[in-house]
Amino acid sequence: MIVTDSLKTAEQLLQRCQAIAGLTLGQLAAQLQLSVPANLKCNKGWVGQLLEIALGAEAGSQAIPDFPNLGIELKTLPINAQGKPLESTYVCVAPLTGVTSQTWPQSWICQKLQHVLWVPILAERHIPVAERIIGSGFYWRPSPTESQALQQDWEELMELITLGGIDQIRGAHGKVLQLRPKAADSNALTNAVGANGESIQTLPRGFYLKASFTAAILQRQFGLAI
Tens digit of pLDDT for each residue in 75-91? 999 999 999 999 999 99
Report the C-alpha gap between 140 and 113 in whole angstroms: 9
Tell me which amino acid residue 11 is.
Answer: E
Split at pLDDT 50, 70, 90, the class of 70 is very high
Report the C-alpha gap between 220 and 217 in whole angstroms: 5
Q: Where are the domains of the chain?
A: 10-222
Q: Is the pLDDT reported for residue 61 higher than 90?
A: no
pTM comes to 0.89
The vertex-125 CA angle with 123 and 130, nearest 5°, equals 55
Q: What is the mean pLDDT of residues 26-55?
A: 94
End-to-end Cα distance, the chain: 34
- What's the Rg (C-alpha) of the chain? 18
Q: Which CATH number fits domain 10-222: 2.170.150.70, 3.20.20.70, 3.40.600.10, 1.10.30.50?
A: 3.40.600.10
Tens digit of pLDDT for each residue in 158-183? 999 988 888 888 777 899 999 998 86
Q: Is the dihedral of CA 179, 77, 87, 142 positive or negative?
A: positive
Residue 29: name the closest of 56, 2, 11, 61 by CA.
2
